Every structure is written in structure tokens, then in C-alpha cells.
Structure 1
Amino acid sequence: METPLSVVIGAGGTGGHIYPGLALAEALRRRVPGAAISFVGTERGLETRLIPEAGYRLHTVDMIPFDRSLGVKRFTLPAALLRSAGQCRTILREQGAQAAVGMGGYPSAPVILGARLAGLPSLIHESNAVPGRANTFAARLTPHVALAFEAGGDHLPASTRPDLVGMPLTGPLATLDREARRADARRALGVPPHARLLLVNGGSLGAARLTEAAVGLAGRWRDRTDVRLLIKTGPAALDAARARLRATGADRVAEAVAYLDRIDQTYAAADLVVCRAGSATVAELATIGLPAVLVPYPHAPGDHQTHNARTLTGVGAGVLLRDEDTTAASLDALAGSLLADPHRLHAMASAATTAGIGAHHRDAADRLAVKVLRLAGHRLPAPVPTAH
């Protein structure tokens, strides 16, 4: 009798690491319904909310960020990594894990090191066009590396032989048909038939620069009837943004929300998005064909968000706007001109599909699941299609 499948996934910090991990978990469960899938993270990231909400167990360890710009002292990192790796080794043994997966972010490295200490096979998935510090380190501990973007392999140790699998997307995004869903989605969000919808999305935690510019833009557009704005602020900035919208009368055309619980519905309704260039966001936009103004986070390690953004801007599916240039006035000029040009929007929406840069993301979760199953020595059952 085959041993029940048990996999532990390290993913945490931001949604850009967590959501692909959840997509992988979904794909493993589709192929092996009784699989025991659990996650490792910390107490400080979004994983404490997102992973339990998705129905998976979260183990927490005492890892600290690799990023010294966050105030982490370099000499404290090795001790913290060894301590958290020891905790991960215990977790892996208690879970009877046959394989460990690191999805990037600082909770990922101790999982891979813990697997090495426990003698278990492991795999890392690099989601960015430029690998983060955690995965650059972890790639020295396992020969099994999967990439979301081909460029990600250029910065890994020469000994690695990475495979391009794409970015794992959760079911609703992997199968989203914007045109088919558009009318229903716009009705659900209360967007008038004649209006263009601009989505401003600062990422899983929000972005102060984007929120500030979007609220100012809403003030400029408050008397217009042909546009609507949906502004994702993150929880910390929500109350202030709503107060400013009310004070200027801009709440007639704009709504601020902390989270986008139905991102598939929002993407289907939107005509244009202004957003950061996190890897998951870029992969989603490439897959569904949503035109974008991309504002890379300027302090991302290795400037990886700019490299991510070029995946779209290089084929005409997006426009790059520097963070320091992002103001209400610049958005008025750039987003305003794009929304007024339906032919340009259509060309941008078609560009990613024409270039083929999004196609491999749709099935990435299943491809990564197959790699994990093989790594775990588990028999490969027939694939179960994602529900459409």
C-alpha cells in the first residue's frame, strides 16, 4: 500500500509567495485528494491569514528576513536560519513529509535547509525575473529549481539546472476569460455600461505612493461620468483614503477597499490596472490579457520588479511608470489617455497572448505538482482538469 502523500510548503511574507504556494497545494490535492499539505511561515506575514482561510495548516518558525534594509543585522542571520531550520526539520518529520517545497521569501530558506538536515528531497520555485536572497541561498542546497520566468535562471548558481514551469495561479485566475465574464463582473461591481473602470492595486499590503496618486486622481475626476476607480489600499491606509474621497466628493467616482477578495471578478471588470510589478501580478496580467501601467517598487532587491515589468512592457502589454513619477497628474495624463483609446487598450490586451508570454502560466501549478510528486516518489495519477 502506498504511503499517503505528505508535502510541506514554505511560503510567506507577501501574497506574491503565498498565492503560488496555495495554487500548488490545490494542484496536488486535485491529483491526490487525500494528500496532507501543510505550510511553514512566520507570525509576521500575510500567511497567518491567507493560509488558514484556504483550509491548510500553518506551522510557524522564528525566521527573520534576509533583507538588511529592514534593519536585520547580517551577523544575526546565520543563527536565526539554523534555529528555524531545526524547527523545520522537526516539522517535516512530524508531518511524515516526503518532499519539501520553497516558494521564496524568508520562510522558504529554512524549509529547504531543514529538508537537507532531515535527508528529504526538496525543490524551490523562483517567481521573479531576478531571484531573491532566500532562493539564491536555497538553490545551493537542492538541485531541483523551477522558474516562473526564464530570466530567473540567469542569476542562480551555475551548478543549478532550472526548469521553466511558469507561475502557479489559483483556479479562478488560471481559467479566467475576461471577455466572457466582463458584463456580469461589471454589474456585480456596479460599473455603468458606458464607464471605463481603472483598478489601482498596490499589492497584498497596499502601496502608499499608488494610493496617494489614485486618491488625488479621483479628486480630479470627481465630476466625470465616464470613469470609475477601484483603489486597493491595503488595511492600514483604508480609513484615511475613504475620508479623503468623501471630503473631496471623489467618492462619486471612486471606491477604496482593503482587499480584493474576488480578484478574478475585478480583473474581468477592469479596463486598465495601475499596479506594482510583483511576479504573481505580472503573471496574472500576462495570462488574462489586462492592460497595465506598471509601477515597480523601487526598493525591491535587485530591482526585480522592474525586470518583472519588462516581461509585459517588452511586448507592448504594459507601460512602465517610475515610482517617483507616479502622481495624480501623471496618472491623469497616462491612464486618462489610455482609457480614452479603446484601440490601444485592445492592442495591449492582445499583446501578451500574441507573444505567448502568458500561456505557460495557466498550467504551471499542475506542472509544478508533477515535479513535486516525482520528487516525493509518489505514483502519478491521471490529471484532473481545473474547473472552468
Structure 2
Amino acid sequence: MRTPLSVVIGAGGTGGHIYPGLALAEALRRAVPDAVISFVGTTRGLETELIPGAGHRLHTVDMIPFDPSLGAKRYLLPAALLKSGAQARAILKEQGAHVAVGMGGYPSAPVIVGARMAGLPSIIHESNAVPGRANQFAARLTNNIAVAFDRSRAHLAGGQNASTVGMPIAASLAHLDRARLREEARRALGVPDGSRLVLFNGGSLGAVRLTEAAVGLAARWRHRDDVHLLIKTGPAKLAETRQRVAYAGAAQVASVVPYLDRMDLAYAAADLVVCRAGSATVAELETVKVPAVLVPYPHAPGDHQTHNARVLSDAGAAHLVPDEETTAERLAALVEPLLADPSRLAAMSRAAGPSTHAQAADLLAAQVLRLSGLPELAHISRDLEYTS
């Protein structure tokens, strides 16, 4: 009787690490329907909601962030890593894992440590243009490295041998036909006919700076009937933002939502996106070719969001605006001329150019299948690489 493929994926903290991990799991299940996929994270991040919500088992370990702000408490990191690595090794054994995958973020490092302890093959995927500390560490423990952007190679031990696969994204976005879905999407999101839609997407938990600017724009545009704002706030700021929009007399030009569970609809309906520059977001924008204004999170380790944003801004597919300059007035000066000139928006869309991200989940899945050492999966791995 054939032993089912078992893969354990370390991913947690923020959506930027979790969503690519889920996309990889989706690709593995497409290729090997009876594969056993489980995740490792902690009890503190979004993984506690997103991973079970996607139908996958989540194991948790005791791990602390790779964070210099810990100060003197940084001396706790080696002990925490050894403890969580041992916990991960026990999970890998329990799951009968063939391969361990680290998608970045501090919850994924113990999986690579545990795989090293157990003598199991492992692979890491780095999603940012400038790697995070967890993957900089984990890269020293595995010979198998995949990256989303070529420019991250120089920052990883063994990066010269890394394979650039792109960023794994959900199939609904990898194959999105914006034009075909546009009318359905605008109806679903309540976008008035004849209005151009500006989507404010602050990431998994929203972004106060973007929400502030969006409310200011809504007040500025409150008498217009040719523009509409869709503002994603995150649950914590939902009620307050709705009250502020109503108080500004701008409810007719702005819709406020806590989250967007159908990003394919949001991207299909949008004429312009104003958002942070997390690696997953940048990969999605490059793939679906929506013009964007990117506002990098200023406290991201290594300023990696600015480096991510430049992938699109250098190509002319996005405008980069520093966080401290992101006000309603600054955005109005930039956005109003864009909305008034469809040809400029179309040029930005074309500038995104070809993207590897649509095939990234399958390419990474092919590497995982190859590392599994299961001979019956070799042809599936080759097929995924060939068709991608």
C-alpha cells in the first residue's frame, strides 16, 4: 500500500507568509490529492485563524520573534529555538513527514531546525526582496532555497544556488481575468455605474496611515459621483472608520469593510489600489496587473517593503509614496490626474510585464515533491515543472 505524501509547512505571523503557504498547500493537493498537509505556527499570529479556516491542521510551537527590539532578552532566542525545534521534530515524526517547508517568519524557523534534527529534507521560500531574519538563519540549515525575487539571493547564505520561482499565490488570482470578471465584481462590491474605484488595502490587519488618508479623500470627494472608495480597515478600526466617513458626509462615495475574502473580485473591480508593499501583495499586483500606489510599512525589518515596492515602481507599474508623506492631500495630487487619464492607468497596467508568480505555487510544489524521495511522485514533479 502506497504511503501518502506528508508535508509540514512552517508559516505564521502575518498574511504575507501564511497566504503563500496556503497557495503551496493548494498546489500540492492539486498534484497529489491524498497528500497530508499540515502547518506549524504559534498561538500569537494570524495562522490561528487563516490556516484552520482553510481546512488545514495547525500545530503550534513555543517560539519568539527574531526581533532586535527584544534588547537584552535576545539571549533567550537560542534556547527558544532549540525548544521549538525539538517540538517541531516531534510534530514531523508524528506526521510521518517526508519534507519540511519554511515559508519565512519566525514561526517557520523551528520547522527547519526540527527537520535538521530529524535528518529530513527541507526547503525554504523567501518571499521578500530583502530576506527576513528567520530565513537568513534557516538558509544556513538547508541546501534548498527558493525565492520570489532575484534580488534577495545576495542576502542569503547559499543564495547563489537558489531557484527563483516567484511568489505562490492563490489559483483564483494566478488565473484572474480582470476584464471578464469586472462587471460581476463591481456589482458584488456595490460600485456605482460610471465610477472609478480606488481600493485601499492595508494588509491583513489594516493600516492606520492608509485609513486616515482614505477618510480624508472621502471627505474631499464627497460631492463627486465619478469616484468611489473601498476601504479595508481590519476589524479593530471598522466602526470608528464608518462613523468618521458618515460624519464627513461621504458615505455615498466610500464603502468601509473589515476584510476582503474575495480578492479576485476586489482586484477585478478596482481601477487603482493604494496599499502596503508586502511581498504577497506586490506579487498579486504584478500578476493581476492593477495599477497601484504603494506605501511601504516604515518599520518592516531591513526596510524590505520599500525594496518590494521598487520591483513595481522601477518598472512604472506603481507609484511609491513614503509612509510619512501619505496624506489625503498628497494622494489627491497623485491619484486625481491618474483617474482622469485612463491611458496612464492602462500604461501602468502594461508596465507590470510578465510575471512568474502565477506558476510559483506549482514550481515550488515540484521541488517539494522531488525532495520527498517518493519515486511514484517523480513524474508529477517533472510534469509540474514542464507545464509551468
Answer whether contact 1:104 1:135 (CA < 8 A) is retained: yes
Deviation at 1:160, TM superposition (A): 5.6
Name the aligned partner's letter for residue 364 of structure 2. L
**Which residue of 364, 369, 376 maps to 2:365?**
369
Answer whether contact 1:215 1:245 (CA < 8 A) is retained: yes
The reply on whether 1:380 has 2:371 as its aligned counterpart is: no
Deviation at 1:269, TM superposition (A): 0.1
Answer whether contact 2:362 2:384 (CA < 8 A) is retained: no
Q: How far, CA to CA, are the matches of 2:365 and 2:2 in structure 1?
A: 18
Name the aligned partner's letter for residue 95 of structure 1. Q
Give the aligned partner of residue 321 of structure 1: 321
Deviation at 1:189, TM superposition (A): 1.2
Q: How far, CA to CA, are the matches of 1:68 and 1:155 in structure 2?
A: 18
Post-superposition Cα deviations, 1:149-205, rounded to whole Å, max 9, x if no partner, equal 011111111476100011001110111011111111111112122100000011011
Deviation at 1:15, TM superposition (A): 0.6
The reply on whether 1:18 has 2:14 as its aligned counterpart is: no
Higher relative helix content: 2
Answer whether contact 1:139 1:160 (CA < 8 A) is retained: no
The reply on whether 1:258 has 2:258 as its aligned counterpart is: yes
Q: How far, CA to CA, are the matches of 1:60 and 1:216 in structure 2?
A: 41
Post-superposition Cα deviations, 1:38-89, rounded to whole Å, max 9, x if no partner, equal 0001111111111001000000111111122367821111111111111100
**Equivalent position SS for 2:349:** helix
Answer whether contact 2:277 2:309 (CA < 8 A) is retained: yes
Answer whether contact 1:31 1:381 (CA < 8 A) is retained: no
Q: How far, CA to CA, are the matches of 2:36 and 2:299 in structure 1?
A: 37
**Equivalent position SS for 1:8:** strand
Q: How far, CA to CA, are the matches of 2:34 and 2:261 in structure 1?
A: 27
Deviation at 1:276, TM superposition (A): 0.5
Name the aligned partner's letter for residue 134 of structure 1. A
Q: How far, CA to CA, are the matches of 1:306 and 1:298 in structure 2?
A: 8
Give the aligned partner of residue 140 of structure 1: 140
The reply on whether 1:130 has 2:126 as its aligned counterpart is: no
Q: How far, CA to CA, are the matches of 1:71 and 1:258 in structure 2?
A: 34
For 1:147-296, list aligned pairs within 5 A.
147-158=147-158, 161-296=161-296
Deviation at 1:384, TM superposition (A): 8.1
Name the aligned partner's letter for residue 380 of structure 1. A
Name the aligned partner's letter for residue 346 of structure 2. H
Give the aligned partner of residue 9 of structure 1: 9
Q: What is the TM-score of this pair, normalised by structure 2?
A: 0.96
Give the aligned partner of residue 93 of structure 2: 93
Deviation at 1:129, TM superposition (A): 0.4
Answer whether contact 1:30 1:384 (CA < 8 A) is retained: no
**Equivalent position SS for 2:34:** coil
Structure 1 residues 19, 251: CA separation in 2 closer, same or farther (over 3 Å shift)? same
Q: Alignment RMSD, CA only? A: 1.4
Structure 1 residues 56, 66: CA separation in 2 closer, same or farther (over 3 Å shift)? same
Q: How far, CA to CA, are the matches of 1:72 and 1:235 in structure 2?
A: 34
Deviation at 1:293, TM superposition (A): 0.3
Answer whether contact 2:112 2:141 (CA < 8 A) is retained: yes
Name the aligned partner's letter for residue 106 of structure 2. Y
Give the aligned partner of residue 51 of structure 1: 51
Answer whether contact 2:294 2:320 (CA < 8 A) is retained: yes
Post-superposition Cα deviations, 1:283-306, rounded to whole Å, max 9, x if no partner, equal 000001000000011111111111
**Equivalent position SS for 1:40:** strand
**Equivalent position SS for 1:100:** strand
- Deviates further, 117-126 or 177-186: 177-186
Deviation at 1:327, TM superposition (A): 0.5
Q: How many residues align?
A: 381
Give the aligned partner of residue 121 of structure 1: 121
Structure 1 residues 251, 69: CA separation in 2 closer, same or farther (over 3 Å shift)? farther
Q: How far, CA to CA, are the matches of 1:293 and 1:199 in structure 2?
A: 10
Name the aligned partner's letter for residue 212 of structure 2. E
Post-superposition Cα deviations, 1:221-269, rounded to whole Å, max 9, x if no partner, equal 1111000000111111111111101111111111111111111100000
- Deviates further, 69-78 or 328-337: 69-78
Q: What is the TM-score of this pair, normalised by structure 1?
A: 0.96
- Deviates further, 168-177 or 331-340: 331-340
Structure 1 residues 158, 144: CA separation in 2 closer, same or farther (over 3 Å shift)? closer
Post-superposition Cα deviations, 1:74-109, rounded to whole Å, max 9, x if no partner, equal 111111111111110000000000110000001111
**Equivalent position SS for 2:106:** coil
Q: Which runs of 5 or more residues in structure 1 are unaligned?
A: none
**Equivalent position SS for 1:16:** helix
Q: How far, CA to CA, are the matches of 1:183 and 1:223 in structure 2?
A: 24
**Equivalent position SS for 2:25:** helix
Structure 1 residues 71, 191: CA separation in 2 closer, same or farther (over 3 Å shift)? farther
Q: How far, CA to CA, are the matches of 1:67 and 1:146 in structure 2?
A: 23
Give the aligned partner of residue 108 of structure 1: 108
Q: Which runs of 4+ in 1 moved over 6 A?
A: none
Give the aligned partner of residue 32 of structure 2: 32
Answer whether contact 1:143 1:160 (CA < 8 A) is retained: no
**Equivalent position SS for 2:256:** strand
Q: How far, CA to CA, are the matches of 2:286 and 2:320 in structure 1?
A: 15
